[in-house]
Structure 1
């Protein structure tokens, strides 16, 4: 591609915090980093925040790319092809001296960093003689302000986006119309101990993944995909009634979706269970009930670690009093609420909760302090994971060592982050990345079971 047809991508700070090596992901196009972005990275790198690591990595990576260049070359653009590593970047990387910008009659106040970046995009738009200049930011409000200020091309960073529409996200199960067996021609069935397996033509299930559940509308079949080879699909016939009879810590499924979730949660061969669905569908309650069952009754694991990302307004939990568990309590009220539901009929609920907390060794941890740990023989419940990026989820999943099961739950309709949408959420990313991994299962819990009021609100508000 000629230099004339290459685009210029101007990166906001949050892009490098989201992915420190993002500047290498624009193929043959040129990348420009405003000086104010370097200032913001410098301010963030020493803070006690989870993103401080990303800021340090981004600074080191930029320094590595520009270390042998002269000041004139850095302003003009340094070839990215010379940067070592696994990438296909063939454009140039430049630093834009936005400190030279002067206040104009526009509404942009250049004392604000976001406005300096937007003004830099406007100046580049003028100076590049009609060549395409794109401002890339994950801040939705900044995208709106940039367009209002006259920036012609403003985009989100989508390199880690695996789907374009949340409607195409894997649900973890296939629901067959009518009676499942009416769609099946030839079938080979085998009995292995108490379990029955069927091999059916893959035309019956054209889109298939391992550990994908298969149910039908007439409640005649409920099974799980255990293998496939392009011609045939091997199904474990679990049985509709059998799945609906599962129990975990006194909890029984209220619908087939919860039954599939319990099957995955109670299966020790599945190391990662991803639960998605609306508020009130039972994600947290099922995860906690299954965890207590496997730790206390079955003794398959030694402890339960509950964690979630703290809101951006309080990324540092240090200002709260008490131990780490006590500091995390306000953010993990959903877990304590679920514990109360599980023991509401006990003679002394408070005594029961204290006993269970000690017996199951339940620990509340902040995600911001999980980096560097190695978690062994535990169940990790990661609540509200829709607010996490792919790199943050990678941080926690890679902490899981031998004999550890992780349960990620979240509602993609309740994203609180300024920088994430349903299609760019880390939860969406891992659903797609792990949907065919033999040690994982995804269940979308259709239907609100919390109350009639909650269900009506979910459907109508």
Structure 2
């Protein structure tokens, strides 16, 4: 590609905080980092918050790319070397000294860092015309300001965004109209252990994609199966039956709908290493996960302990002011878990005593996500709750901690994201649903329907 045909991407600070290796993500195009961005990274790197780690990684990445270059080369651009997973990279990286710009009447007031970065992009747009200059930022308001100031091309950073609309997110099951067997001409059935396996032609399931551990149900019969294996021409199904799933029971809890039945089957299956539960508030994600945890740890002895963790806002600063041990410090953020334990034991003669006994017998531990890095968790049932507020890299940190004989359950509601920089399509929960949808060791179930109460159900539908 000729230099004039290459786009020039101007990166905002939040792009490097979101993805410290973002410089490698623009293939054959060139990347510019304004000096104001480096100053913001310098201010953030020493904060006592998790974002400071991303700032330091971003600074080290820029140092590795530019450290051996002369000042003239850094301003004119240094070749970005190809690396693993980024073999197509062939652009240049440069630092733009935007602090030397003379603010004109056409520019934004230079008393705010966002304005300085926008002014730098406007200057490059004017200086390099007709070459395309693109400002990349995850700040919605900054994108609006830039367009209003005359920036022709402004984009969000979407390299890690796998879908464009949350409606297209894989639900983990497919529901066929009518009777499933009316659509299947040939089937080869056989007993394998306690289960019936059906091998059907791939063409019998239409042209829609089929994934490992995807559930299949229909409207008019008792049919309910899980995809065991997919080849180019054939699909191997494990037949469970709707009636059988609806009669599952774990720690005194029975499914209230077929979606909970599918989730419970996945939670209790020791062959599935990770279960992802999504759905609206009140659909039973945490209740099913905790019931399965107690069942598999205490009754079935499949795991040694239960570890419950979740993201907590400003955890590094605020957790230290709470009294007690790490478990006691985490208790306010994990009240949903204790509420669930109360529901599971509300009919006991001494509910409080039962809860304390069960938590001790199941070795239930409350842990902070920040303290999970570097660990290797063996033979444990791990529940990662409220993970819609985690980025893809944060969830990766948890998943890569899982050792031999451990099971991970990720649950969250994509309609309740609290992070300032995440949306339903950029959440780490959405990312892992799409990335793991064809992994034979994971299952994903969208729990359709609110079962908490009629009030919660009405609120979810109408508000």
- Tell me which interval the TM-score lies in, with the shorter structure as reference length: over 0.9
| Equivalent of residue 239 in structure 1, options 218, 238, 241 | 241
Contact 1:140-1:418 at 8 Å conserved across structures: no
* Contact 1:48-1:316 at 8 Å conserved across structures: no
Tell me, in whole angstroms, the C-alpha distance in 1 between the residues paired with 2:170 and 2:301: 32
User: In structure 2, what is the equivalent of residue 69 of structure 1?
Assistant: 69
Deviations along 1:418-456, one digit per CA (max 9) or x if unpaired, are: 211211111111111111111000001111111111111
Change (3 A) 1:145 1:219: farther
Of 356, 373, 391 in structure 2, the residue corresponding to residue 389 of structure 1 is 391
Deviates more, 1:354-363 or 1:321-330: 321-330
CA pair 172-362 structure 1, distance change in 2 beyond 3 A: same
Deviations 1:310-329 (A, max 9, x none): 12587652233332222222
Q: 1:6 to 1:315 in 2, by over 3 A?
A: farther
Contact 1:35 1:99 in 2 (8 A): yes
In the TM superposition, what whole-angstrom CA distance separates every residue of 1:282-321 from its partner, at most 9, and x where no partner exists?
A: 1111111111111111111111111111125876522333
Instruction: Give the Cα separation in 1 of the matches to 2:390 and 2:441.
Output: 22
User: Displacement, 1:336?
Assistant: 1.5
1:343 aligned residue:
345
Q: Distance in 2 between matches of 1:36 and 1:334?
A: 42
Alpha-carbon distance between aligned partners in 2 of 1:264 and 1:343, rounded to the nearest angstrom: 23
Distance in structure 2 (CA, Å) of the matches to 1:296 and 1:190: 34
Taking structure 1 as reference, are residues 81 and 169 closer, same or farther at Cα in structure 2, changes over 3 Å only? same
Which secondary structure does the structure 2 equivalent of 1:261 belong to? helix
- The aligned residue for residue 285 of structure 1 is 287
Cα deviations by residue, 1:340-387 (Å, 9 ceiling, x for unpaired): 111122222222222122111111111122111111111111111111
Work out whether 1:205 is the aligned partner of 2:205.
Answer: yes
Give the whole-Å Cα distance in 1 for the aligned partners of 2:245 and 2:116: 58
Give the one of 371, 378, 381 matched to 1:369.
Answer: 371
Distance in structure 2 (CA, Å) of the matches to 1:426 and 1:375: 21
Q: 1:81 to 1:195 in 2, by over 3 A?
A: closer
Superposed CA RMSD in Å reads 1.9
Offset of 1:99 from its aligned partner? 2.1
| Aligned-residue offset at 1:105 | 5.4
Partner of 1:426: 428
Match of 2:456 in 1: 454
Q: Does 1:170 find its partner at 2:170?
A: yes
Any stretches of 5+ residues in structure 1 without a counterpart? Answer: none
Aligned length: 461
Deviates more, 1:59-68 or 1:273-282: 59-68
Q: Residue 141 of structure 1: CA displacement? A: 3.0
Counterparts of residues 244-393 of structure 1 (less than 5 Å): 244-312=246-314, 317-393=319-395
Cα gap change, 1:320/1:124 in structure 2, threshold over 3 Å: closer, same or farther?
Answer: farther
Show the counterpart of 2:88: 88
1:47 aligned residue: 47
Give the match's secondary structure for 1:293: helix
Normalised by the length of structure 2, the TM-score is 0.95
Within 2, Cα distance between the matches of 1:89 and 1:149? Answer: 31
Distance 2:23 2:194 in 1: 55
Of 277-286 and 307-316, more deviation after overlay is shown by 307-316
Contact kept in structure 1, 2:50 and 2:316, CA below 8 Å: no
Q: Out of 187-196 and 432-441, give the one that drifted further.
A: 187-196
Q: In 1, Cα distance between the equivalents of 2:335 and 2:76?
A: 53
Q: Conserved in 1, the CA contact under 8 Å of 2:29 and 2:91?
A: yes
**C-alpha displacement at 1:401, in angstroms?**
0.5
Flag the 1:107–1:249 CA change in 2: closer, same or farther, 3 A: farther
Paired with 2:107 and 2:86, the residues of 1 have a C-alpha distance of 42
Query: By how many angstroms is 1:222 displaced?
Result: 0.7
Which position in structure 2 is the counterpart of 1:179?
179
Matched with 1:112 is 112
Tell me, in whole angstroms, the C-alpha distance in 1 between the residues paired with 2:222 and 2:84. Answer: 57
Change (3 A) 1:140 1:356: farther
Q: After the TM superposition, which of the residue ranges 63-72 and 263-272 deviates more from structure 2?
A: 63-72
Secondary structure class of the residue paired with 1:25: helix
Task: Say if 1:278 and 1:411, in contact at 8 Å, map to a contact too.
Answer: yes
Residues of 1 paired with 2:181 and 2:83: CA distance? 57
Q: Which runs of 5+ in 2 are unaligned?
A: none
Q: Does the C-alpha gap of structure 1 residues 100 and 400 become closer, same or farther in structure 2, counting only changes over 3 Å?
A: same
Distance (Å, rounded) in 2 between the aligned partners of 1:315 and 1:453: 36
Q: 1:211/1:84 Cα in 2 relative to 1: closer, same or farther (>3 Å)?
A: closer
Q: Could you tell me how far 1:85 is from its partner in structure 2?
A: 8.1
Query: Which piece of structure 1 moves more, 430-439 or 121-130?
Result: 121-130
What is the distance in 2 between the residues matched to 1:336 and 1:156?
39
In the TM superposition, residue 60 of structure 1 has moved relative to its aligned partner by: 1.4
What TM-score does the superposition give when structure 1 sets the normalisation length?
A: 0.95
CA distance in 2, matches of 1:375, 1:81: 36
